[in-house]
Amino acid sequence: MTQWGAPGSGAGQQGTPPPAYGPPPGPYGPGQYPPYGYGYGYPVPPRRTNGLAVASMVLGILWLYWIGSILALVFGYIARNQIRERGESGDGMAIAGIVLGWIGVGFFALAILAGVASTV
């Protein structure tokens, strides 16, 4: 007879094979969800990031003589509409671009006010 496993390891008795893997897990019950990235056995493809959201955030950061701020606002608002319609990701970047765009417009308005006040 063949002995499975090392002596004294408890990995089987004489004549019996070592224990196999356990039974496969059952289906997901109520309140249990599949692991992140899997939709009930099939991998879920990642959502696409909206390109206008990325452009809005980059232009909001760079400002580009305040023209970038205005473009960041335009691209940010368009991107948020597209994200809602298409189910894409990038809403946070669009919001960041909008906020930075308004900050840039505010600084531009302050610069104009300071220029007007200095000529008076």
Nearest-Å Rg of the Cα atoms of the chain is: 30
For every residue of 73-105, DSSP letters joined together read HHHHHHHHHHHHHHT-B-HHHHHHHHHHHHHHH
Q: 2-13 burial by CB neighbour count: b if 16+ within 10 A, else e?
A: eeeeeeeeeeee
Confidence of residue 113 (pLDDT cuts 50, 70, 90): very high
Q: Where are the domains positioned within the chain?
A: 51-119
Kindly report, residue by residue over 41-95, the tens digit of the pLDDT.
566 678 899 999 999 999 999 988 889 999 999 999 999 999 999 999 999 999 9
Local structure of 109: helix, strand or coil: helix
pLDDT at 106 over 60: yes
Taking the whole predicted model, whether its pTM rises above 0.75 is answered as no
**Between the CA atoms of 66, 70, 76 and 79, what dihedral angle is there, to the nearest 10 degrees?**
-130
